[in-house]
Amino acid sequence: MTRILVTGASGCVGQYISHWLLLHSDAELLLWLRDPSKLTAVLADHPRVRLLVGDLRDTDRFVAELATVNRVIHTATAWGDPERAEQVNVVAVKRLLQLLNPHVVEQIIYFSTASILDRDLRPLPEAQAYGTEYIQTKARCLEQLEQHPLAAKIIAVFPTLVFGGRVDGTSPYPTSYLTEGLAEASRWLWLARWLRADASFHFIHAEDIARICGQFATRPHEPNREPGQGALRRVVMGQQAISVDDAVATLCRWRGVGRTPGIPLWAWLIETLIKILPIEVNAWDRFSIRQRHFIHDPVSPPERFGGESHAPTLETVLSDSGLPNRGSPRTQRKVLPTT
């Protein structure tokens, strides 16, 4: 029986992945998490589930278990505290790879962030220069993994903006930070409906992340064939890019807020809004404002690997989120249940 280790298993993405694997594989799952009480979408006493309870910084507690795993899906991460981010996002990853048996492990799916890559999926120099502690540590870790002896077995995945769970708390899955922010974003539509911004981005639902990772983890691992890359494979997970204007318009329709012709967000106007509104801006935020278009080519939804998206559009994301729909009946669509 294949043994798959999932780190960060109690998080939003970790639980979507673990649930998918229980439904669509016969693998034994080792779920590494700090607090078992947060495991809400997966039965802790499932016969194919074994919990590894502990902090990722205490990797040596599970030396015996790590030597037996065939696949690793590493979603665990840390941010906010620079010292902890360094220990979890860089040092612990290095130690985890050291403890894997190179003759037993077949594949490692390593979670990073799309923020550290440019349009062509190359490392973005500004990530290390201006990034938060989270972004900087992810950039440094990727740099090390590119040269690692196990690089040919590593698939580095880079989620774009992640939705998941529900704003009303009725989902068995934890709510992602982005989905939690939908209610707050709705409260600013009175202002956003007057503005226009030349910017764009990708998004992806955690269920679609699970489908991509599940397809990788349940198929034979293959050498990297992505053009312009080395042994380590880079996959940016997301739907096709959407403009900020289209996103605001969609949210306005969903919430029944009228859209106006709008005022372009010139650089001087952005600076003025930063000064008069309760907004804290760091060096990375200012780089992001200048960059504007965080898009990637290729970007990978489940369809790129033979799957089908759970939430391919922003409308389906909003429907899945449980955010009340106060718009016209045309926007009141349903999303199929997660399977």
**DSSP structure string for 146-198:** HTSTTGGGEEEEEE-EEE-S-TTS-SSSPPPHHHHHHHHHHHTHHHHTTEE--
What pLDDT is recorded for position 23? 97
* pLDDT, position 331: 44
Q: What digits encode the pLDDT tens for the residues 157-206?
A: 999 999 999 999 899 999 999 999 999 999 989 988 988 888 999 999 99
pTM of the model: 0.92
Q: How far is CA 334 from CA 207, 256, 301, in A?
A: 16, 18, 20
pLDDT digits 0-9 by tens, 117-149: 999 999 999 999 999 999 999 999 999 999 999
pLDDT at 339 over 60: no
pLDDT for residue 225 is more than 60: yes
Which residue bears the tokens 């740099």?
143
Where do the domains of the chain lie, and which CATH numbers do they carry? Answer: 3-162+204-237 (3.40.50.720)
The label of the residue with tokens 């979408």 reads 41
